[in-house]
Amino acid sequence: VPKMKCRFYVTIFNNIKQFNSHAKFKENILENEIQKHLKLIGKVYKENVWIPHELLEENKKFVCQDGHEMKLQVGKQNRWRCYVKESRKEIGIRIGTWFEGTKIPFKTAIFFIYCWSYEMVSVDFCKRELEMNHNTVVDWGSYFREVCLFMEKKCQSIIGRKGFTVEVDETLFTRRKNHCGRMLTQQWCFGRICCETKECFVRPVPNRSSNTLIEVLRRRREYSQVAEPGYEHLKVNHKYNFVDQLTNAHTQNIKRVWRSVKARSRRQNKTCKSMPEGYMYEFTWRKKNKKEPFYSMLKDIKEFYCFLVKK
């Protein structure tokens, strides 16, 4: 019996050792993948300081108020410093970059962006793996949703074109089952998807009246001429069938979109009820950038930061 126990403990030890080596291997792969997008700007406390290429303006040089070029000073305090005797100006290493105003380490910030892009973040995960507190995780997540909202409003691409079919539908996010339970705040959402390209668009709306839905369409320039000749409006009555027997019209694709949106809402403990617009824009952004979300987020952060600076 003691020999069997000994073998059992050795097996457990080997499994733990193998798991740790595998986790370390995955961490190295993650660092190598992230560093493809990073630029080494110096060392602080014997630790490399990396900043993504996409977050730095091309050929940008830090200059002091007197117009002299500044260089990175490495020491107890990492700062940009002007070494001209008459000036001797200093600024923080984060000044003039997207990291201005942040306090978490560069490496932690980049890992959070990577994990957020691939939907691997949660408050518990960030506390355990990235050593970020609850408020920091929530604030950074809200900021990324602002980036998604900015990019969606800036790049309003046309969904569908000549010869393509676009499904339009609305859905109710909050409802009572069998009219039981407490009264809940209702949230209507309006969306559409191109059956051929799978490009989609979802928005929260106050109600599903015709005036509200038409107003949403008019806000986007490409849909302002829907009522003109050249467009064919197909309908399907779900009371009788889900696919029209004459025109083969259906809404299966947009219903599948609503299923994905509501599944995300359940995973996030239905937090989208208080801030529906940000979560809707995040869903649309992820659908558009599902191939390279990390690289796309870095580029979008840079565009959003440049917009804020110019503003």
The model's pLDDT over 87-139, given as tens digits with 9 standing for 90+, comes to 777 777 777 677 777 888 877 888 888 888 888 878 888 888 888 898 998 88
Residue 6: is its pLDDT beyond 70?
no
The model's pLDDT over 282-296, given as tens digits with 9 standing for 90+, comes to 888 888 888 888 888
Q: Which residue has the higher pLDDT, 218 or 306?
A: 306
The model's pLDDT over 67-93, given as tens digits with 9 standing for 90+, comes to 777 776 666 666 777 777 777 777 777
Is residue 304 within 8 A of residue 147, CB to CB? The reply is: yes
The single-letter code of the amino acid at 222 is E
pLDDT of residue 300: 87
- Least confident range from 64-68, 117-121, 148-152: namely 64-68
- Least confident range from 32-46, 139-153, 170-184: namely 32-46
Alpha helix ranges (H) inside the chain: 2-35, 106-117, 123-125, 134-154, 210-219, 252-267, 276-288, 293-310
Token pair belonging to 132 = 């970020």
Residue 239 host element (H or E): none
Q: For residues 280 and 261, what is the distance between their CA atoms, to the nearest angstrom?
A: 8
pLDDT above 70 covers a percentage of the chain that reads 66
The residue ranges of every structural domain in the chain are: 31-101, 166-291
The model's pLDDT over 20-56, given as tens digits with 9 standing for 90+, comes to 444 444 455 555 555 555 444 444 334 444 455 445 5
- pLDDT-based confidence at 239, cuts 50/70/90? confident
